[in-house]
Structure 1
Amino acid sequence: MTIFDLTGRTALVTGSSRGIGRGLATALAEAGARVVVHGRTPETARSTAREIAEATGATTLGLAFDVTDEGQVGAGIAELEERWGTPDILVNNAGMQKRAPIHEFSVADWEQLLATNLTSAFLISRAVAPGMTARGSGKIISIGSVQSRLARPGIAPYCATKGGVVMLSQGLCADLSPHGVQVNAIAPGYFATELTRPLVEDEEFSAWVTSRTPAGRWGQLEDLSGAVVFLASSASDFITGQTLYVDGGMTSVV
């Protein structure tokens, strides 16, 4: 199945030192890509990069910069391009969550969510776009959420940012697809990770997730592997501007 083979391609996955990002980076490495692991600190990024390399045999690089800072993003992408060239694959995964009723949500928390979840995807996509369009090829994959489409109490700002990720992907599709760059989004449902462990261990909430999800379970990191490899590979060269919901059916039922 050579159309899924990523050998010879370079992938940058933001926020990939742990959680879903690490799972996505590992899947791309297993498919043959050399992977840039991005984290908050150089030590964490390098450590995770080494672990992924040891587990998969892939070539990896650890890179750290603030995804919300225009100057740091520019410097980080410039460093990567000097060492490995413009990435063939960008996965905008860096994100965060904050919960509070809307009347208690501070402007500072709103701005932090917006910067981390949405502005970062804009900044990094903008930084790699010149190299991708000059080359005539590239894959940009941004991580949304079921909350790109469905809302729950206490997370209105998060929903807004994740909805923005989907529309940013469609806008980038309009700008970049004529130049050979495919831009899509993956919207995970409820996944069991180290970051969601408290929710998984909350019996009442976990029961709600499993009853609300037609597949009847939490998602596991490996459930995202096929989706990210597919959208990063030649198999999806005529797919752009789309959002792939990997949610066990949650967004399809009431």
Structure 2
Amino acid sequence: MDDLAGRRILVTGSSRGIGRATAALVHARGARVVVHARAASPHTDSLLAEFGDRGALVTGELDGIAGAAAVWDGAVAAFGGIEVLVNNAGAWIPSEVDREEAWQAGWEANLGLNLTAPAELCRRAILDYREQGGGIIVNLASRSAHRGDDAGHLAYGAAKGGLLALTKGIARGYGRDGVLAYAVAPGWVATDLAAGAVEPAVLDGLPLGEVTPAADVAEVIAFLATGRARHATGATIDVTGADYVR
């Protein structure tokens, strides 16, 4: 299947987990992929070796506006433009209510990485997409955006909820410019970051009896990247194995 043949795609946070699975899948379907990570590593080296001349690397922190702008500029320079932005980079950063310094630091870190940086990447994408006749944005949210997160991660849920509102606003505001925007909201996903975080009691309670494979999330993202679901723009697709339904 080569339904993404030649399409230029930026996947942030693509050295591991969902991002890596997505980058590998869209490359396998013909895309040219800009891999993003904070820094080069054996993880990025292996992807680039696999991707050959249809792969490129951009590095940098996504902790706010300046970092996001630099990443976008680097990605555009790699292939002369980007047609699909996958805002995958993020982290489940605690924000404990009982510790004032940790609370403040948690909010600043969560908003910077999980909302402000993706928003700036979206802004830069919109500006370019309007000039080139359209493009696609896929924002990785979380089931926490719908239900809220636990007491120790209030800021994470709030940031991901903001990302959903941003996605809807982009779809409504820039559809006539050819900009399509979607959100994907996973639950527990089998990644390095989640390893050991899922307690046996939680696992036993999952309807499918297993944590969602990163490949399942990547399949949804890759489909949205084709542009074949234009009238689903503004929608959020849940990938939770029915652990959270609405």
TM-score when normalising by structure 2: 0.90
Q: In the superposition, relative to structure 1, how do residues 209 and 177 fare at CA in structure 2: closer, same or farther (>3 Å)?
A: farther
Any gaps of 5 or more consecutive residues in structure 2?
A: none
2:95–2:107 CA contact under 8 A, matched in 1: no
1:132–1:181 CA contact under 8 A, matched in 2: yes
Post-superposition offset of 1:138 = 0.7
1:190–1:209 CA contact under 8 A, matched in 2: no
2:182–2:234 CA contact under 8 A, matched in 1: yes
Post-superposition offset of 1:76 = 3.1
Q: Equivalent residue for 1:120?
A: 117
Post-superposition offset of 1:9 = 0.3
1:222 aligns with 2:221: no
Q: Root-mean-square deviation (CA), in Å? A: 2.0
Instruction: Provide the rounded CA distance (Å) in 1 between the counterparts of 2:98 and 2:225.
Output: 40
Q: Equivalent residue for 2:62?
A: 67
Instruction: Provide the rounded CA distance (Å) in 1 between the counterparts of 2:91 and 2:106.
Output: 11
Given the alignment, which residue of 71, 78, 87 partners 2:82? 87
Structure-to-structure mapping, 1:1-254, within 5 angstroms: 5-43=3-41, 46-53=44-51, 59-104=54-99, 105-151=102-148, 152-200=150-198, 205-211=199-205, 213-252=206-245
1:148–1:160 CA contact under 8 A, matched in 2: yes
Post-superposition offset of 1:153 = 2.9
SS at 1:199 equivalent: coil
Residue identity over aligned pairs, in percent, reads 31
Any gaps of 5 or more consecutive residues in structure 1?
A: none
Post-superposition offset of 1:43 = 4.5
SS at 1:244 equivalent: strand
Post-superposition offset of 1:30 = 1.6
Instruction: Provide the rounded CA distance (Å) in 1 between the counterparts of 2:19 and 2:174.
Output: 24
What are the Cα deviations for residues 118-160 of structure 1, in whole angstroms up to 9, with x where unaligned? 0011111111211111112211000001111123332111110
What are the Cα deviations for residues 170-197 of structure 1, in whole angstroms up to 9, with x where unaligned? 1111222111111010001101111111
Instruction: Provide the rounded CA distance (Å) in 2 between the counterparts of 1:83 and 1:50.
Output: 13
1:46–1:63 CA contact under 8 A, matched in 2: no
Instruction: Provide the rounded CA distance (Å) in 1 between the counterparts of 2:200 and 2:225.
Output: 32
1:67–1:123 CA contact under 8 A, matched in 2: no
Aligned pair count reads 243
What are the Cα deviations for residues 227-252 of structure 1, in whole angstroms up to 9, with x where unaligned? 01111013212221110000001222
Post-superposition offset of 1:96 = 1.0
Post-superposition offset of 1:44 = 5.8
2:133–2:177 CA contact under 8 A, matched in 1: yes
Q: In the superposition, relative to structure 1, how do residues 113 and 100 fare at CA in structure 2: closer, same or farther (>3 Å)?
A: closer
Post-superposition offset of 1:117 = 0.3
> Which letter does structure 2 place at the counterpart of 1:115?
G
Post-superposition offset of 1:100 = 4.9
What are the Cα deviations for residues 78-103 of structure 1, in whole angstroms up to 9, with x where unaligned? 33323312211100111111235423
Bigger drift between 23-32 and 64-73 goes to 64-73
SS at 1:149 equivalent: helix
